[in-house]
Amino acid sequence: MKREAKTKKAVQVAIVGGGIIGTLTARELSRYQLDVLLLEKEAEVGWGTTKANSGIVHAGIHEDPGTLKAKYCFPGNQMFPRLCEELDVSFKQTGILVVALAEEEMDMVHMYYQRGLERGVPVRLLSREEVLAQEPNLSEDVVGSVFAPEGGAVMPFELAAAAMENAVANGAELMTESPVIGAWVEGEKKYLETPTHIIEADVVINAAGLFADEIARMFGDDYFRILPRKGEEYLFDLELAGLVNSIIFPVPASKISKGILVIHTADGNIMIGPTSDNVPAKDDLGTTYSGFERIFSETRRLVPGLDPRKVITQFAGLRAASDRGDFIIEFSPNVPGLLHLAGIESPGLTAAPAIAADVPKMLEEQGFKLTPKENFQPRREGVVRFRQLSRKEQDELIRQNPAYGRMVCRCETVTEAEIVDAIRRGARTLDGVKFRTRAGAGRCQSGFCQPVIMEILSRELGIPAKQVSKRGAGSEQVKYEAKELLGKGVS
Amino acid sequence: MRKLEVDVAIIGGGPAGLAAALAAHDQGAAEVLIIERNHELGGILQQCIHHGFGLHRFKAELTGPEYAQRFINELKDTDIKVLLETMVLEVTKDRTIYAVNSREGMLEISAKAIVLAMGCRERTRGALRIPGKRPAGIFSAGTAQRYMNIDGYIPGRKAVILGSGDIGLIMARRLTLEGAKVEAVVEILPYAAGLARNVVQCLEDFDIPLHLESTVTEIHGDDRLEAVTIAKVDENWRPIPGTEQKIECDTLLLSVGLIPENELSSGAGVELDPVTNGPKVDDTLMTSIPGVFACGNVLHVHDLVDNVSKEAERAGAFAAQYALDKLPAPPRRIKVEAGENIRYVVPHEISLERPVEFFMRVQRPEADVYLDLGGLRRVKKPFVRPSEMLDITLSVEQLSKLEGDTLRVRIVSGKEAGVDA
Amino acid sequence: MLKRITCTVCPLSCEVVLEIGENGEILSLTGNKCARGKTYATKEHTAPERTLTTTVKIKGGVHPLLPVRTDQPIPKGKLREAMLATADLVVEAPVKMGDVVVENFLDLGVNLIASRDLDRVE
């Protein structure tokens, strides 16, 4: 579409990127009387780096002092319980356990402990006996550990989607499948071009994750680069739930990565990973043989009982690491009103609420006037998780709405009503339903339920089944109707 | 909550559940209930539209739906109750079943006996850990079969199929007949896993290349599958570097194994056999929980639906006897052991009170062997292979000669004289 | 020239080797362990047949497709033509197993019949 033909839209704040930073920022800004628009290039928010994130809410003992990572990590951690309670997102305070498997490693353990004390992070030193009492499936080689009880796990996509839902409920606007393909400045106004729109904004917040450097460069800011760093993760059958109770860290070998972990996720699955490999391309999202081998050999040292035959799925994601090695949270030196929230790698998820909470302050310091809304509604309500209810509650629910009586995903116990609700909350794809409801995330990996979910999406969205996609245009799952290929010269 | 009391509750209305229900009814159980999650009976047979079913039982080569229809028709002449579109959520140790449907909400069903007949699920890409991205266009063969034969969709136009078991072979033919191109069937073993007849009628008939000792080592494509890389494997199933080949395709079907679906069973505390992934059972097909029986693919993955029906009839009959208080505990329990080259044997335990039909699979292919059942019977076999289940019966008379408390089933090679009984 | 045919009559799956003459006639046949193998291989070479199983569209039924089969095998070479012939067929529900969907299908003296009962949707 030619630029002149595109729809023009004027807003006060345009956020580029709907990951955990963009969505939480949208929510923070929706507390004020502001026109906020978030532009997301994928079919759903949270489908870049955020979706693949391990979901760990760090305790705040790993970050080097004097960094932005350290500045925002612990405050972010402290915000998680209330944030997740308001947004009705599961946050499991599993605690973080850094485990030494040899005497030499105890120096680092003590260092973390000291750091925790200095920063006001609740920490405890645990002896070998205490650790094994808490985590009976840990290796017998454990020597000692530091335990930070206020670390935990969250489902990062769930949090981003919930934050966006709440932001929209409070007046913010979301445009998905809207990549920013051009940008320029005219006087005080900034302009963003998408395939269908020209957005005019007073403030642009660059939360574009892997592409934050490209967005910055569109505006003439060419002073940082995003260096994607791949991480693979492997998920185990729910049958292994309880193998570990907290998130198990090794004493890391390198400065760049916190190590390969055994993770008790918010949904209860055990997950192992991630690797940490610099890759040249921003779409290098493939899992690998060597990735699994490295992850498995490392985590087996921590938890010998991990059984590779119980892996049900795996994925890879790219950290949006910057060449600065720290967060980039600053206004553009060249373009007034352009705020970069870039290079958000670990502990980005943990830090995100604190970073987002700072944005209004940062805007005010730059001279933007913010008036709070009287009727800001911080809570997301009405999410039903059928599998968590009692039999009596389940029965009641079905009487109110028979669609709760149609079980769609057997492995994860997800009903039709929940899927319809997810679609009404914004899911438009098979993955969108999966990430919101867990339908298809279980051991059969949607082998049974995918045709049913497809039928529901087709019905609710009024689109033919052939248009139902895994994650947006180009990823349709069934391409042809019966008989469509006959006589068309295919074979 | 609606409460029901039944004599025999059967979980699953596929071939196993149907046969078990009819047998339970014929044994005199008054209240027999089938609980089925689909909107019709027949289970997986309804999507198996190809023929070849029932050769032993009906002396005919029926299609899956035809085979199911025979049982469904027979059921119509009985007072067996059926709850359709009803999903069982939980089975308890004291034989209470919780199930839901849209019409009645939560159902609490107390059963004097339960027959587990839930069938199995397919092994997934995730379980195989095939490297690469996660585009659309990847299906387990059964899901693709459902799309094609029930829902009316064709997954894609250019397919690669991983796994040459019968499901993979059947789908190779199905896709080709419907106008798609199957570029290759890829098999990790040095021989096709399915029946020779299917290799002929599904691959050779259509000149579909079969790559043996090979596997898919990478999946390519961001949003939709674009290609797969296949490579040869060594004897440890590890890809051999340098043998990679990229095949362009938009569809990948995975026919890489079936796994008995026993979440309900383990939730009830039923003891499972780690080799079969199904319950351990005795010669009445009763599990470790009194009054809970298992049959069909949920017990162990079968090759022939005729055997499923046979096994299910036993389970249904004994379940009815149990419900009618006519199944006393046996005075002796004999452990059945899987010996040389036997991967598993079902049942795991027998009494000596009744004839037993043993089903088993070998660990590896062997030619010119004897199947030896505890020294009580020996059967000559020109060859045995893991993909073909063996079934052998022992009569009460033969069983009476057993010494000790263990019956060891094994494969004996060599020129030992055998007794074909 | 030599032609190899795997016999599918019994699990032995003998590989039968046929020597084929200039006019396609069978000059010799070896490798079979029984007479059925000879019959099978001969037929496979001279007039191979297959039972066709497929689906046809159905209107007003609980499913959009009806599984069908030929009630007897048809020449193997006719499979593609058969598929094309069924591509545009539309049957009306209800249907009973065994109902004739197409009589004298492709003029081969076999019927295309329904593989199951398929009820009308309410």
| Rounded distance between C-alpha atoms, residue A76 and residue A82, angstroms | 11
Closest CA to A235 of A225, A227, A243: A243
Chains that touch C (3 or more CB pairs under 8 A): A, B
Which residues of chain C make contact with B65, given a CB cutoff of 8 A?
Answer: 67, 97, 115-116
Angle at CA of residue A319, ends A317 and A320, nearest 5°: 130
pTM: 0.95
Evaluate whether A209 touches A19 at the Cβ level (below 8 Å). yes
Residue A354 dihedral angles phi and psi, to the nearest 5° = -70, -40
Q: Which residue of B has its CA nearest to A474?
A: B223
Confidence class of residue A488 from pLDDT cuts 50, 70 and 90?
A: low
How close does chain C come to B352, measured CA to CA in Å? 32
* Cα→Cα distances A124→A37, A81, A103, A120, A133, Å: 44, 20, 18, 12, 15
Burial degree of C27 (CB within 10 A; 0-12, 13-18, 19+): exposed
DSSP-derived secondary structure letter, B148: I
Evaluate whether B396 touches B402 at the Cβ level (below 8 Å). no
What per-residue confidence (pLDDT) applies to B387?
86
What per-residue confidence (pLDDT) applies to A382?
86
How many distinct structural domains can be found in chain A?
3
Q: Which residues contact A418 (CB under 8 A, 6 or more apart)?
A: A384, A385, A386, A404, A437, A439
DSSP-derived secondary structure letter, C122: -
A483 touches chain C (CB under 8 A): yes
Closest CA to A152 of A350, A333, A447: A350
Do A221 and A255 lie in one domain? The reply is: no
Give per-residue burial for A29-59: e unless 16+ CB within 10 Å, then b: bbbbebbbbbbbbbbbbbbbbbbbbbbbbbb
What per-residue confidence (pLDDT) applies to C9?
83
B155, A292: Cβ pair inside 8 Å?
A: no
| Rounded distance between C-alpha atoms, residue B35 and residue B104, angstroms | 13
Chains that touch B (3 or more CB pairs under 8 A): A, C
DSSP-derived secondary structure letter, A404: G
Higher pLDDT, A256 or A26: A26
Which residues of chain A make contact with C65, given a CB cutoff of 8 A?
Answer: 482
Which residues of chain C make contact with B178, given a CB cutoff of 8 A?
Answer: 54, 83
Closest CA to A254 of A278, A225, A279: A278
Strand, coil or helix: what is A66? coil
- B169's enclosing H/E stretch is helix B166-177
Find residue C29's DSSP bridge partners.
C18
Query: Which domains does chain B show, CATH number per domain?
Result: 2-121+259-323 (3.50.50.60), 124-256 (3.50.50.60), 334-413 (no CATH)
How close does chain B come to A26, measured CA to CA in Å? 28
Burial degree of A107 (CB within 10 A; 0-12, 13-18, 19+): exposed
| Rounded distance between C-alpha atoms, residue A88 and residue A125, angstroms | 32
Amino acid (1-letter code) at residue B243: T
DSSP-derived secondary structure letter, A273: E
> Who among A465, A470, A485 is closest to B136 (CB)?
A470
What per-residue confidence (pLDDT) applies to A61?
86
B223, A403: Cβ pair inside 8 Å?
A: no
Going through A110-244 in order, the beta strands assigned E by DSSP cover 124-127, 144-148, 152-154, 173-175, 182-186, 189-193, 197-206, 226-236
Do A247 and A393 lie in one domain? The reply is: no
Q: Which residues contact A482 (CB under 8 A, 6 or more apart)?
A: B148, B152, B153, B154, B178, C55, C57, C64, C65
The encoded tokens of residue A22 equal 């963009």
DSSP string, B327-341: -PPPS--EEEEE-TT
Closest CA to A49 of A233, A319, A289, A363: A319
Angle at CA of residue B102, ends B69 and C94, nearest 5°: 35
Task: Count A/C contacts: CB-CB distance under 8 Å.
Answer: 12
Mean per-residue pLDDT over chain C, rounded: 94
| Rounded distance between C-alpha atoms, residue B333 and residue B338, angstroms | 16
Q: Which residues contact A374 (CB under 8 A, 6 or more apart)?
A: none
* Cα→Cα distances B296→A463, B133, B273, Å: 39, 36, 15
pLDDT over 90 (residue C110): yes
Amino acid (1-letter code) at residue A275: T
Whether A340 sits among the annotated catalytic residues: the reply is: no
* Cα→Cα distances C53→B3, B183, C111, Å: 44, 22, 12
Closest CA to B388 of C12, C32, C9, C31: C12
Do A84 and A95 lie in one domain? The reply is: no
What per-residue confidence (pLDDT) applies to C14?
86
The domain that contains A162 carries what CATH number? 3.50.50.60
| Rounded distance between C-alpha atoms, residue A155 and residue A180, angstroms | 27
Which residues of chain B make contact with C12, given a CB cutoff of 8 A?
Answer: 382
| Mean pLDDT value across residues A208-216 | 98
Q: Which of A362, A382, A402 finishes a domain?
A: A382
| Rounded distance between C-alpha atoms, residue B244 and residue C92, angstroms | 50
Which residues of chain A make contact with C87, given a CB cutoff of 8 A?
Answer: 483, 486-487
Determine which of B11, B107, B121, B297 to mutate to test the interface with A (most A C-beta atoms within 10 Å). B121
Do A399 and A447 lie in one domain? The reply is: yes
| Rounded distance between C-alpha atoms, residue B61 and residue B49, angstroms | 12
Closest CA to A181 of A191, A171, A172: A191
Block residue for tokens 């709850």: B83
Do A311 and A453 lie in one domain? The reply is: no
Q: Which of A258, A282, A315 finishes a domain?
A: A315
A489 touches chain B (CB under 8 A): no
Alpha-carbon torsion, ordered B188, B191, B195, B200, to 10 deg: 110
pLDDT over 70 (residue A113): yes
> Who among B150, B177, B179 is closest to C65 (CB)?
B150
Q: Which domain holds residue A125?
A: 91-150+229-315
Q: Which of A261, A284, A315 finishes a domain?
A: A315
Closest CA to A206 of A14, A11, A368: A14
C57 touches chain A (CB under 8 A): yes
| Mean pLDDT value across residues A179-184 | 97
The encoded tokens of residue B368 equal 């010119």
| Rounded distance between C-alpha atoms, residue B251 and residue B45, angstroms | 24
Residue A40 dihedral angles phi and psi, to the nearest 5° = -125, 130
Do A392 and A479 lie in one domain? The reply is: yes
**Would you give per-residue pLDDT tens digits along chain B (421 residues)?**
999 999 999 999 999 999 999 999 999 999 999 999 999 999 999 999 999 999 999 999 999 999 999 999 999 999 999 999 999 999 999 999 999 999 999 999 999 999 999 999 999 999 999 999 999 999 999 999 999 999 999 999 999 999 999 999 999 999 999 999 999 999 999 999 998 899 999 999 999 999 999 999 999 999 999 999 999 999 999 999 999 999 999 999 999 999 999 999 999 999 999 999 999 999 999 999 999 999 999 999 999 999 999 999 999 999 999 999 999 998 889 999 999 999 999 999 999 999 999 999 999 999 999 999 999 999 999 889 898 899 999 999 999 999 999 999 999 986 655 544 3
Do A276 and A145 lie in one domain? The reply is: yes
Could you tell me how far CA B410 lies from the centroid of its own chain?
22
What per-residue confidence (pLDDT) applies to A490?
42
Which residues of chain B make contact with A316, given a CB cutoff of 8 A?
Answer: 133
Block residue for tokens 């939560």: B106
- B220's enclosing H/E stretch is strand B214-220
pLDDT over 50 (residue A241): yes
Residue A109 dihedral angles phi and psi, to the nearest 5° = -60, -45
What per-residue confidence (pLDDT) applies to B420?
45
| Rounded distance between C-alpha atoms, residue B299 and residue B271, angstroms | 11
Which A residues, 397 through 436, put their C-beta within 8 Å of a C-beta on chain B?
Answer: 398-399, 402-407, 410-411, 413
pLDDT over 60 (residue A489): no
**Of the ranges A136-150, A255-269, A282-296, A463-477, which one carries the lowest mean pLDDT score?**
A255-269
How close does chain A come to B382, measured CA to CA in Å? 34
Evaluate whether C5 touches C39 at the Cβ level (below 8 Å). no
Residue A457 dihedral angles phi and psi, to the nearest 5° = -60, -45
Burial degree of C109 (CB within 10 A; 0-12, 13-18, 19+): exposed
How close does chain B come to A168, measured CA to CA in Å? 28
A486 touches chain C (CB under 8 A): yes
pLDDT over 60 (residue A23): yes
Strand, coil or helix: what is A487? coil
Query: Which domains does chain C show, CATH number per domain?
Result: 2-46 (no CATH), 53-114 (3.10.530.10)
| Rounded distance between C-alpha atoms, residue B325 and residue B322, angstroms | 5
Do A142 and A155 lie in one domain? The reply is: no
Closest CA to B174 of B191, B156, B194: B156
A138 C-beta neighbours (distance < 10 Å), count: 23
Do A396 and A252 lie in one domain? The reply is: no
- C50's enclosing H/E stretch is strand C49-50
Do A126 and A270 lie in one domain? The reply is: yes
Kindly report whether the peptide bond that precedes residue C94 is cis, defined as omega within 30 degrees of 0: yes
The encoded tokens of residue B323 equal 């419900």
Do A243 and A310 lie in one domain? The reply is: yes
| Rounded distance between C-alpha atoms, residue A27 and residue A12, angstroms | 15
The domain that contains A417 carries what CATH number? 1.10.10.1100
Do A250 and A281 lie in one domain? The reply is: yes
